[in-house]
């Protein structure tokens, strides 16, 4: 565990509220979105036609049309940015307090901060690589449909992840850091909000959060492996044939 440096008068006045807003936004909406996103991506592993369930899910999301971008900015990107920047500030203004806390507590606190930074860097890379925000900067590789209108969500996602071996490694590390940061953050938030005060309740919530993290980690890593193993050549050939057939239709 670490102690915080002496806050200014203004910081002290709002410290209680700001820390709780920081904690809350890390769970709602950011943490909720992470869970939804990982489970949605894991549909790439669904049986049946390859990528069909994944495509169906993202089609439903993009059905928001012009409302999608404002929803993403207001309910995902801005809360994420606030949580990340304040988290870095908290880390940079903290000082070691090893003599008063057990080694495990300090290690977990430090790992929470490190994984938070790595998760944020990974998320920014993921947004650049896949989201249309990254298009003007050489990213934005995810395409819901081809120019001919055929569904290409699963194909373009898999192609982006398979573009280089280091990309899969980055995704495995990034997803793992994100999941740990969320699961451990929930455990910390329960203490911060005064829900788990006694050691026994903290220990019990620790087991629950650990189980949650393991399950979510399996889902997230499974999705990455699913896209890595996705047969892009077969899917690309099928899409090309479908587009060709449509263009020659009377």
Residue 37 pLDDT: 98
Residue 74 pLDDT: 97
Distance CA 234, CA 231 (A): 6
**Measured CA distances, 76 to 15, 83, 217 (Å):** 23, 11, 21
Sign of CA dihedral 54, 60, 64, 70: negative
Please enumerate in sequence order all residues whose Cβ is within 8 A of that of 39, keeping only pairs 6 or more positions apart, or say none: 219
Domain of 135, in residue numbers: 2-247
Residue 98 pLDDT: 47
Residue 147 pLDDT: 83
The residues of the chain scoring below 70 in pLDDT are 1-13, 94-103, 241-250
Closest C-alpha to 163, from 188, 184, 139: 139
Our count of domains for the chain comes to: 1
- CATH code at position 224: 1.20.1300.10
Helix (H) or strand (E) holding 95: strand 94-96
């Amino acid at each position: 565990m670490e102690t915080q440096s002496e806050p200014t008068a203004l910081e002290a006045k709002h410290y209680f509220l700001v820390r709780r807003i920081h904690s809350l936004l890390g769970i709602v909406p950011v943490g909720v979105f992470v869970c939804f996103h990982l489970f949605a991506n894991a549909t790439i592993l669904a049986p049946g036609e390859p990528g069909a369930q994944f495509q169906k899910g993202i089609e439903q999301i993009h059905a928001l049309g012009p409302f999608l971008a404002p929803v993403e900015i207001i309910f995902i990107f801005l809360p994420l940015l606030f949580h990340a920047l304040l988290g870095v500030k908290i880390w940079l203004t903290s000082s070691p307090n090893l003599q008063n806390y057990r080694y495990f507590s300090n290690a977990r606190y430090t790992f929470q901060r490190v994984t938070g930074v790595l998760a944020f860097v990974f998320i920014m890379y993921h947004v650049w690589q896949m989201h249309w925000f990254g298009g003007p900067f050489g990213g934005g590789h995810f395409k819901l449909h081809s120019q001919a209108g055929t569904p290409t969500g699963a194909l373009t996602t898999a192609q982006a992840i398979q573009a280089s071996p280091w990309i899969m490694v980055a995704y495995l590390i990034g997803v793992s850091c994100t999941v740990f940061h969320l699961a451990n953050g929930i455990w910390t938030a329960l203490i911060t909000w005064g829900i788990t005060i006694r050691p026994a309740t903290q220990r019990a919530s620790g087991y629950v959060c650990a189980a949650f993290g393991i399950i979510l980690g399996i889902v997230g890593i499974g999705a990455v492996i699913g896209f890595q193993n996705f047969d892009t050549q077969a899917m690309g050939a099928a899409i090309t044939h479908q587009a060709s057939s449509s263009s020659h239709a009377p």
